[in-house]
Structure 1
Amino acid sequence: MASLDSVSIAIFLGAVLVMAGILSSLLALRFGAPLLLVFLLIGIMAGESGPGRIEFDDLRTTYLVGSVALALILFDGGLRTRFQNISAVLAPSMVLATIGVLLTALITAPVAKYVLDLNWTEALLVGAVVASTDAAAVFLLVHAQGLRLRPRVGATLEAESGTNDPFAVFLTLMLVELISVGGSSFAHVAMELGREAVLGAVFGIVGGRLVVLGLNRVALPQGLHAPFVLTAALVIFAATQIVHASGFLAVYLAGIIIGNRPTRAHNALVTFLDAATWLAQIVMFVLLGLLASPQRLVVSIGPAVVIALVLMLVARPLAVFLCLLPFRFNWREKIFIAWTGLRGAVAIFLASIPMLVGLTKAYLYFDVAFVIVVISLLLQGWTLAAAARRLHVALPRAERGPRRVELDLPGQLEQQLVGYPVRPKSLFFRRGLTPSWSKPTLVIRDQHILSPAEADPVRPGDYVYLLAPPEKAESLDRFFVDMPPSSAPDPHLLGDFTVSGEHTLGELAEVYGVKVNPDQTALTLADYFDIHLDHAPKEGATLDLDPIILVARSISGGRVNVIGLRLPEDPEEVPSAPPPLELFKQKLASFWSSVAGI
């Protein structure tokens, strides 16, 4: 009976922990990744040195759980990555994910050798363990703190954090093998790295395509699509690892393939993975906390703090600046990318590998990585939003998205039904705007289902359902949140080729002589961007308007605030009806003089 009672107690404690994890997701939106440190603390307190007195030294289970959790986290990150967003930053991201990790490890190694009294190979192993940024921490913090990063910065961090773990794992395993077995040539290391990367990419791309094919061809019962994809991701990961290739790279690429193709139940899959990855992180942090020993941590804390400071303030910034030197990033962007190099559970997971194979000083690697992760999440994690604002690389979202309902339509993959409550201050209610690629289909009012014609005019409190492509559904959010107060554009920006987004197409037509549909003359330029863009407006987005190209120069509250006008360079490109280019400029100058009262 005592053994049965112990099983019941284990089930009870496990269920309480899972419930706490689910409820803690609400706090995560406020506190971000540092909340995960609470679960590290829970693990430490439940361990042999804490009040819980649980003896736990099962390194194989820890490695198994850590591998599964990291695979799910990387798959979830790939699933959310839009390829068109990262295609322009693939080169700098890959340099950071490979050369950047290597440089960080090399710069950190001399400090580790001196403060920990290690040889060069052991010191380099310490550097490799803590060299990569943690995808889970980066993804969680960016979303939890409501940051809207500049597109290039956000895409670079997203791609780097998702792809540098495979290289860090490879580097760690090679150094562990070097310490435990003996010397290895540079040619052998390079060959192994190339083989793992190539095979991992092949398994990931082919596996992702097969999952898409199976998901769309096999008629699974409702609710099983997400578990099918989740287990398929683990199959891809495990199969790649079995052939001694990079399963972490494979599962990340599989996520990108699946996330960028039309599939059934895409939104159910994303929601399911949200819960799965969050719980996986919690379990991983608790297990890592159980392995930690406060007595050992006290001995290692001094050298670990020195290594952490060198890593955050010297090694990572220097590696970022050197890697991004050939690319056109300004110094503010480079500093922010350097500061966002958070260390998380991946570093502790990598530090458990020497313990698993029984290396001497294995617990030293673990304890140092543990302390570095705690310092990184506390110092970098809680200052990330402040750093983004101070460096002008991101704007905090004024309001979280509305409650969106998404329904798959059987028989096709190109459209889904997306529903929103109508708010009195929303762009949809005040302006009646919807993007050109969406179609209002039905309205629910007082428990009655109405067609858009029957419901016209729409009232606050109605629920509107629109047809939209699944990959663009999130871009509808901006039409159903409360409109922010209009922000006056910077008058210094309003020169000959820049106008305020609040001016109408009719006013622009008078100045430039461009052709505008009569029913669109009352539309503001900001409205024109909202209707015709496939995504939420971003700086640099362009739209054609007769011979003129409109360029989004400034974004305020999710809408285009200042718009640049790119005129034809050759006067012959201008249609015969409008005046010549010089007259355009004269009219524009006259127009702005009258507006400004000059």
Structure 2
Amino acid sequence: MVPSILFEIMLIGLLGIGSQWLSWRYRMPAIVVMSVAGLLVGPIFGLMNPEEDFGDVYNPIITVAVAIILFEGSLNLSFKELRGLGKPVFRISTVGAFIAWILGSLTAHYIAGLSWTVAFVIGGLFIVTGPTVILPLLRQSKLKPRPAKILKWEGIIVDPIGALLAVFAFEIIAYFTANNPDGSALILFFAASIFAAILGWACGRGIGWMFETGNIPEYLKSPAVFVVVILCFTIADEIMHETGLLAVTAMGMTLANMGISSVADMRHFKENMSMLLISAIFIMLTASLQVEVLLEIFQPEIIGYVLLMMFIVRPLSIFLSTLGTDLSLNEKLLVGWIAPRGIVALTVSSYFASILSDAGYEDASIITTLTFGLVFFTVVAHGFSIRWMAKKLHLSMEGRPGTIIVGSNEFTVELAKSLTKVKAPVIIVDSSWERLRKTREAGIPFYHGEMLSEQTEYHLDTTPYEYLIAATDFHSYNALVCTTFMPEYGRTNVYKASPYTLVDNMNDVVDKIGGKIIFKDDMSMEDLSSKITSGYVFRQTTITDQYNYNRYLSERDEETVLLYMLKPSGKMYYYSEDLKITPEAGDIVVSLAPPSKEYKKIQEKLVNQRNNL
């Protein structure tokens, strides 16, 4: 066992973030790595058992963390995202959830051998997927926007619905099996659910109004939101268990659709907090499992139940609920396969296991084992298969990383042409229809609009793009664009054109704001555009063992501007002064090079002809 609670908290954080880093570094599903890490330090090696070590505060920690995670996820549920997706999302979240509940309950009764009461309770619980498992998968899988948005909306909306269905099933069955049925419990359940939704809406509107009117200072906005989330969750949950999830979901969706800029400003902080909580909770839950539970997972009835839930219940509920919608067959196949269960299923199932056991249902003791079996198998199967399946169904954004270029001019149009030739997605964004004329004539994908506008977020699909280059003639605007999108794309993937010209004194002014300077610090946008008008051309040079990179550098023209390099793996790197990667054999270097001597002769001939006319 670990020497102290403080050491255990440190270890949980280290394992959680370490698992996230390993999954990013080696492109593995983060939830799988976290689950394995928790099992290793918990039931396998016995280094810690958070449930025992934390005692009475264990469950409150988990439930509050789940509430914050669910709120953060619902804060991204803007109804503007539902353009063209409203019908499928509504069907899956209502009709699909109901079908999955009925089929899952029948499977639990006839395959897992559970009583009708226990079967219908966990049948409602197991319709949930949730942001704790869906969002990390979507972050790594690079799905196309339609299936990604459907899975995200379903995961967040169905999370509280599943918990409420489990409570509803228990209350209904308790009512009908009681010797003297009393409908007051049912009335209380429905009233508490309505109250939770209204409370969440009121908290969202209230905190939003305080933000808009300036009644909360900037430095208190994030802390205030988290306190109100906990307040909203606790009040609802104290009235009726599990309605707190509904309350925080309603609060998050209310704030998301109020159009408050302060909420958008805090989003990255809340995402970071959610990432830390997801990592910690997965480690704590898996580390708290008993060895006996792990061994029971491999019982035939549990394996049979899990397989039917994965291969029959989930696909059938999706196909039936999306009849008559515009979802393609491939989209139905992908959405029908991806349904990993996560934290909400684990935490709520433990609550119902104790409630049902106290009510005299002996088979309730298997709920924890059944839940973890479903969670572990779905997390592993869906985590490792989502990228492969999306690629097979042509629903992934595979290929070279794409680039968003902000600003249409002579240079950016030619740069976009060169990226198109190497099959790298590219799009030019500009608010001027006149400046976009060259882009349109060249056949380059473009978006006519203001990059910093909120509308652009909903109309411009940014999924294929990993890089952003701000290359307008306005240096301050370039810096502002880079600063705005740096949290989304990463500090190393956001570039801007140099604000300097060759006559500037580089020692007097140092511009470090908003993104890295692309290509060369002393190569401004004006310089690059003038090279295009002077006849400079884009050249691709393949580095080989015989013609290595050092030889290429020594033989190239001094006026050549190195633009980007391409790896055989599909990776792409833009040149900047601090680029540390050296091209190797097989890499392609793309540069902007002076015209050849033959081209110069043709230019001189044309000039002479004009002079003689």
> TM class, shorter-chain normalised?
0.5 to 0.7
Q: Aligned residue for 1:155?
A: 149
Q: Which residue does the alignment assign to 2:337? A: 339
Q: Report the alpha carbon displacement of residue 537 of structure 1 after superposing the two structures with TM.
A: 9.0
Cα shift at 1:483? 7.7
* 3-state SS, counterpart of residue 397 of structure 2: strand
Contact 2:43 2:291 (C-alpha < 8 Å) held by counterparts: no
1:531 to 448, 459, 463: 448
Whole-Å Cα distance in 2 between the matches of residues 70 and 483 of structure 1? Answer: 47
With over 3 angstroms needed to count, the CA separation of the structure-2 counterparts of 1:40 and 1:528, relative to structure 1, is closer
Structure-to-structure mapping, 1:157-556, within 5 angstroms: 157-177=151-171, 183=177, 195-218=191-214, 220=216, 223-244=219-240, 246-263=243-260, 265-302=262-299, 303-357=301-355, 359=357, 360-396=362-398, 398-399=400-401, 426=405, 428=407, 484-486=419-421, 521-524=437-440, 529-532=446-449, 534-535=455-456
Conserved in 2, the CA contact under 8 Å of 1:137 and 1:343?
A: yes
Given that 1:79 and 1:259 are in contact with CA atoms closer than 8 Å, whether structure 2 keeps it comes out as: yes
* Helix, strand or coil at the partner of 1:116: coil
From the superposition, tell whether residues 231 and 202 of structure 1 become closer, same or farther in structure 2 (CA, over 3 Å).
Answer: same
Q: Distance in 2 between matches of 1:140 and 1:483?
A: 33
- Once residues 287 and 254 of structure 2 are traced to their aligned partners in structure 1, the CA distance between those partners, rounded to angstroms, is 36
Q: Deviations over 1:278-308 (max 9, x none)?
A: 2222332233224321223212323222111
CA distance in 1, matches of 2:423, 2:10: 53
Report the identity percentage: 19
Q: Is the 8 A contact 2:302 2:370 kept in 1?
A: yes
CA–CA distance in 1 between the matches of 2:186 and 2:247?
A: 19
Distance change in 2, residues 1:55/1:27 (3 Å): closer
Matches within 5 A, 1:60-75: 61-75=57-71
Tell me by how many angstroms 1:239 deviates: 2.4
For residues 531 and 382 of structure 1, do their structure 2 counterparts lie closer, same or farther at Cα, with a shift above 3 Å needed? same
Distance in 1 of aligned mates of 2:28 and 2:183: 39
Say whether the 8 Å CA contact 2:51–2:58 is kept in structure 1: no
Partner of 1:36: 31
Q: Secondary structure at the match of 2:420?
A: coil
1:21 corresponds in structure 2 to: 16
User: Take 1:309 and 1:174, find their aligned partners in 2: how far apart are those partners?
Assistant: 26
The alpha-carbon distance between structure 1 residues 34 and 399, as it changes in their structure 2 partners (threshold 3 A), is same
For the Cα contact (< 8 Å) 2:30–2:136, is it kept in 1? no
Say whether the 8 Å CA contact 2:66–2:344 is kept in structure 1. yes
Match of 1:465 in 2: none
Bigger drift between 20-29 and 278-287 goes to 20-29
Q: Cα distance 1:233–1:331, how it changes in 2: closer, same or farther (>3 A)?
A: same
1:125 lines up with 2:108 in the alignment = no
Aligned equivalents of 2:182, 2:84: Cα separation in 1: 32
- Tell me the SS of whatever aligns to 1:394: coil
Residues 529 and 537, structure 1, Cα contact 8 Å, conserved in 2 = no
Mapped contact 1:32–1:140 kept (Cα < 8 A):
no
Once the 2 structures are TM-superposed, how far is the Cα of residue 275 of structure 1 from its aligned partner?
Answer: 2.3
Q: What's the secondary structure of 2:198's corresponding residue?
A: helix
Aligned residues: 448
- 1:401 to 1:198, Cα distance in 2 relative to 1, 3 A: farther
Unaligned runs of 5+ in 2: 468-613
Structure 1 vs Structure 2 CA RMSD: 4.1
When normalised by structure 1's length, the TM-score is: 0.64
Distance change (3 Å), C-alpha of 1:8 and 1:299: closer
Aligned residue type for 2:363: K
Local SS of the residue matching 1:530 = strand
Check whether the contact 1:427–1:481 (CA below 8 A) recurs between aligned residues: no
The more displaced of 172-181 and 237-246 is 172-181
Q: Higher Cα Rg: structure 1 or 2?
A: 2
Give per-residue Cα distances to partners, 1:154-207, cap 9 Å, x unaligned. Answer: 332222111111111012223445677763789989866754553333222221
Cα distance in 2 between the residues matched to 1:320 and 1:89: 14
Distance 1:226 1:123, change over 3 A: same
